[in-house]
Amino acid sequence: MAVCDVCGNDYDKAFTVTTPDRTGTYDSFECAIHALAPRCTHCKCTIIGHGSEHDGIFYCCAHCAKQAGVRGLDDRV
């Protein structure tokens, strides 16, 4: 069995995710998201969808980007 890097659960169905920066073992998608998903720079929520990016900074939506002073991002065109 493998131990989840986030919660420590020793689980026979754990899986490994490899990104260009790191590799981790997780017992659920919830733990993988907790460990790997970016956070919105403005509101700190976990970005599990596409989100928005400006100059390498991630936002969960255009509204948060606008609140942070970014112009030109829209949720809809």
Instruction: Look up the pTM and report it.
Output: 0.79
Q: Does one domain contain both 75 and 47?
A: yes
Q: Domains in the chain: how many in total?
A: 2
Q: Which two tokens stand for residue 38?
A: 């970016």
Quick one: 12 and 41 in the same domain? no
Q: Decide: helix, strand or coil at residue 32.
A: helix
Pair (3, 14) in one structural domain: yes
- The three-class DSSP label of residue 23 is strand
pLDDT tens digits, one per residue of 38-70: 999 999 999 999 899 999 999 999 999 999 999
pLDDT of 73 reads: 84
Regarding whether 70 and 41 lie in a shared domain, the answer is yes
Q: What H or E segment, with its residue span, contains residue 2?
A: strand 2-3
Which domain covers residue 57, as residue numbers? 37-77
| Alpha carbons 30 and 48: distance in angstroms, whole number | 10
Query: Do residues 20 and 44 both lie within one domain?
Result: no
Question: Count of H helices and E strands in the chain?
Answer: 2, 6
